[in-house]
Amino acid sequence: MLAGIPIHTAMKLTIDQDKCIHCHLCEKACFLTRFCGFDSLEGAAEQYCIGCGHCVAVCPRQAITHSGVKSTEPIGPVPGEAEVLNLLMKTRSVRHFKPDPVSRETWNVLRRAAEYSQSGLNAQSIRLTAVEDPDTLSGIRKALLRMYDKLERLAAFPVTRLAARLSLSPQDYHAVISETATQPLRRQAAERGEDPVLYGAPALLLLTGPASQTAREDATVLSQNIMLALTALGLGSCYMGGLVLGCRVFKYKPLLRALDLPKGHAVHQALVLGTPTVQLKRMPERKRRKIRFR
Ligand SMILES: Cc1cc2nc3c(=O)[nH]c(=O)nc-3n(C[C@H](O)[C@H](O)[C@H](O)COP(=O)(O)O)c2cc1C
Ligand code: SF4
Ligand code: SF4
């Protein structure tokens, strides 16, 4: 337990004293030393370790054996500042996709991008579900459109609108009302045979996990890893905020049924992804941010 929070099952860490050169790098890399203060990494690990593996990864002599960290892999050179900023500029929301399916190689890279993501207390609890089956995507699309129709009707009546205002947080209420405002346009687009909700993407990625605030944050962090990896692969994606909102706030049963989430899981993030039909060559202007130094 750490500050009353149950973390991981007890971990066993041993240091091979024949190999150890007492450089203390493992202690400097470990988050526990920041607030616990301990003499022995081995003792602290048994009680508080979150299994991040930094101690194993940093040891120059491979002297540490850790029950929760079976292996490490080498990290190659990282891109320079200009390449990183280009990647970030290029990672924009995509709303028009080619029908090309997402290859298994791409899914494999995305899986790794997810595995390298950070998570609160290293919980690593977010699961990935890739929806590619056209019939399943069609079912989700229809459920979303019906959900927006229903929300639009609820928003149109003063009594139900007031009930929503009273029962939802101001942010959720605002988000729900904003989503309903564009529903007439969505409906018309759907009638023309277009896909105004999943944007004709060949795949939908659901990030699910326990229904906790931390898991929600973990999923958001993880989804950004996925988006950046997609950009690096020449692909693109778009957040499905309406879908997540519909599940979390509205708990719309037909949508939840169509999504068929893992048992006990909530959907914390969802992305449509695929090959963009257009490529942005320039970055639109953004609000200038000032860093407040104190
Ligand atoms: C949503 C979120 C919240 C986090 N909060 C903290 C925090 O309050 N303090 C901290 O030391 N690390 C925090 N972390 C970092 C995690 O502990 C870290 O990602 C995890 O231990 C795995 O380590 P690594 O990603 O650096 O390998 C947080 C990570 C995430 C994604
Ligand atoms: S795995 Fe992480 S938390 Fe556990 S002992 Fe090593 S560095 Fe510390
Ligand atoms: S990093 Fe490795 S060699 Fe250095 S003190 Fe820790 S166990 Fe010993």
Q: Is the pLDDT confidence value at 5 over 60? A: no
Q: Is the pLDDT confidence value at 1 over 50? A: no
How high is the pLDDT of residue 4? 41
Q: How far is CA 105 from CA 93, 112, 151, in A?
A: 22, 11, 39
How high is the pLDDT of residue 39? 67
Mean pLDDT, residues 226-247:
97
| Residue to mutate, 52, 59, 69, 119, ligand 2, most ligand atoms under 8 Å from C-beta | 52
| Residue to mutate, 5, 35, 41, ligand 2, most ligand atoms under 8 Å from C-beta | 41
Q: 120: CA distance to ligand 1 center in Å?
A: 5
Ligand nearest to the CA of 63: 3
- Which has the minimum average pLDDT: 32-46, 64-78, 236-250? 32-46
What residue's CA is closest to ligand 1, atom 19? 118
Which has more pLDDT, 7 or 281?
281
Can you say whether the dihedral through the CA atoms of 184, 187, 193, 198 is positive or negative?
Answer: positive
Mean pLDDT, residues 157-172:
82
How high is the pLDDT of residue 247? 94
CB environment 235-253: b (16+ within 10 A), e (fewer): bbbbbbebbbbbbebbebe
What residue's CA is closest to ligand 3, atom 2? 59
User: pLDDT tens digits for 62-91?
Assistant: 999 999 999 999 999 999 999 999 999 999
How confident is residue 33, by pLDDT bands cut at 50, 70 and 90? confident
Which has more pLDDT, 38 or 294?
294
Element (H, E) at 274: strand 266-274
User: pLDDT tens digits for 83-116?
Assistant: 999 999 999 999 999 999 999 999 999 999 999 9
Q: 49: CA distance to ligand 2 center in Å?
A: 5
All structural domains of the chain, each given as residue ranges with its CATH number in brackets, are 13-66 (3.30.70), 79-279 (3.40.109.10)
Q: 208: CA distance to ligand 1 center in Å?
A: 18
How confident is residue 173, by pLDDT bands cut at 50, 70 and 90? confident
What residue's CA is closest to ligand 3, atom 3? 20
Q: Tell me if 114 sits within 8 A of 225, measured CB to CB.
A: yes
How confident is residue 56, by pLDDT bands cut at 50, 70 and 90? very high
Q: Is the pLDDT confidence value at 41 over 60? A: yes
CA angle at 79 for the pair 238 and 205, rounded to the nearest 5°:
20
Confirm whether the ipTM is greater than 0.90.
yes
User: pLDDT tens digits for 187-211?
Assistant: 999 999 999 999 999 999 999 999 9
How confident is residue 38, by pLDDT bands cut at 50, 70 and 90? low
How high is the pLDDT of residue 8? 58
175 lines ligand 2 (CB under 6 A): no
d(CA 1, CA 8): 8
How high is the pLDDT of residue 178? 81
How high is the pLDDT of residue 159? 83
DSSP 198: T
Q: Is the pLDDT confidence value at 2 over 50? A: no
How confident is residue 221, by pLDDT bands cut at 50, 70 and 90? very high
For all residues of the chain together, what is the average pLDDT? 92
